[in-house]
Amino acid sequence: MIIADKNTKAVDLVRAALEKAKEYEEYHAFISMNEARALEHAREIDAKIEKGEPVGRLAGVPFALKDNYLSPEGMTTAAAKMLEDFASPITATAVKKLEAEGAIMIGRANLDAYAHGGSTENSYFGPTSNAHDKTRVAGGSSGGSAVAVALDIVPFALGSDTGGSIRQPASFNGVVGVKPTYGTVSRYGVVAMASSTDVMGCFAKNVEDANLIMSIIAGKDAKDSTTLNDFWTKNLADAKPEKKKIGLITDFMGEGIDEDVKKTVKDYAAKLKKAGYTVEDVNIPMLKYALAIYYIVQPAEVASNLSRYDGIRYGHRSSDIKGLNDVYSNSRNEGFMSENKRRILIGNFVLSSGFFDAYFVKAQKARTLLINAYNDVFKEYDALLCPVSPRPAFKLGENTSDPLQMYLEDVMTVPPSMAGIPAISVPAGKSKEGLPIGVQLVGPRQSDQILLHIASELEDK
Of 184, 180, 200, residue with least CA distance to 192: 200
Residue 190, phi then psi, degrees to nearest 5: -120, 135
Q: How far is CA 35 from CA 14, 115, 186, in A?
A: 9, 25, 27
Please, which residues have CB within 8 angstroms of residue 101's CB and are 6 or more apart in sequence? Answer: 56, 57, 58, 59, 216
**Rounded CA separation 71/75 (Å):** 8
The set of catalytic residues is: 66, 141, 165
**Rounded CA separation 166/161 (Å):** 5
CB-based contact 424:452 (threshold 8 Å):
yes
**Rounded CA separation 203/200 (Å):** 11
Residue 158, phi then psi, degrees to nearest 5: -90, 145
- Sheet containing strand 383-387, strands side by side: 30-33, 104-109, 62-66, 156-161, 199-204, 176-179, 423-430, 436-442, 383-387, 245-249, 278-282
